[in-house]
Amino acid sequence: MTDLICVSDANGVRTLRFDRADKKNAITRAMYSAMAEGLEEANTRSDIRVVVIAGSEGCFSAGNDLMDFMEAPPHIGGGETPPVERFMMALMMCEKPVIAAVDGLAVGIGTTLLLHCDLVYATERALFTTPFVNLALAPEYGSSQILPGIVGRAVASEMLLLGAKWDAKKAEAKNLINAVLPTEGFDAAVMEIAQQITQLAPGAVKTAKMLINLPPEDIKDRIVREGGLFAEQLRTDEFKEAVTAFMERRTPDFSKFG
């Protein structure tokens, strides 16, 4: 574990925060390991409903720490699992909703990790760039497939071929992020969104996230898949609580479900 990742749990939300502001939150192997551990544990804890990934004030992450990176260049899928791959898999496999809160610089994996989060919010001073080709490197973390699917091939090439820098407004316009929020009160605003999710039925949230992240399939097959899961949810105590609360004209209480 490293003290360069701050882990805090409050009211059903786990926050994983990069805390290396003097190095613009450049991520080391130890930091990747700590992030992976935080995500893996959150995935097993029924009391944690949402994970928030954040940075320091004015800087999300400058990407990989290049000195650390050069000491032990990772080979994703090459046998022994490097810390960055463990983090990548932990984020991809997390069944809880993950929200990214981007304030300031988001370079390299500071941007590509956002493609694996469920919701992404940024301040007006956020700046997104993926300068892999500029460093004589290839794109990473599925970005060569996911980003064109979000913004289109030509627009994705701005980032992945030219290493273009997108401000928050362009990132929002191109659907890289959900919304631009005011810098003042940013953390509180993101936490309010996270709290909304903690009040929902966790089983239903898990199922919805799973469906959203499935690979494309024939629409008839998807309808059948959804129908089967819908039928399963109808038999859950979560659904009973939702219906009872509706009949009693009260807010449902899903706190006892995990």
Q: Tell me: pLDDT of 88 over 70.
A: yes
* Alpha carbons 147 and 128: distance in angstroms, whole number: 13
Mean pLDDT of 185-198: 98
pLDDT of residue 3: 86
Q: Per residue in 16-57, pLDDT tens? A: 999 999 999 999 999 999 999 999 999 999 999 999 999 999
Using 50, 70 and 90 to split pLDDT, how confident is the model at 66? confident
Question: What is the chain's mean pLDDT, rounded?
Answer: 95
Q: Domain 5-198 sits in which CATH superfamily? A: 2-enoyl-CoA Hydratase; Chain A, domain 1 (3.90.226.10)
Q: pTM of the prediction?
A: 0.95
Task: Tell me which of 77 and 224 has the higher pLDDT.
Answer: 224
Using 50, 70 and 90 to split pLDDT, how confident is the model at 223? very high
Domain segments of the chain as ranges: 5-198, 202-247
Q: Per residue in 122-162, pLDDT tens? A: 999 999 999 999 989 999 999 999 999 999 999 999 999 99
Q: Per residue in 165-175, pLDDT tens? A: 999 999 999 99
Q: Tell me: pLDDT of 69 over 90.
A: no
Tokens in use for 209?
Answer: 């996230």
Q: What percent of the chain has pLDDT over 70?
A: 100
Q: Tell me: pLDDT of 112 over 90.
A: yes
Question: How is 56-124 classified by DSSP, letter by letter?
Answer: BTTEEE--B-HHHHHHS---TTSSS--HHHHHHHHHHH--S-EEEEE-SEEETHHHHGGGGSSEEEEET
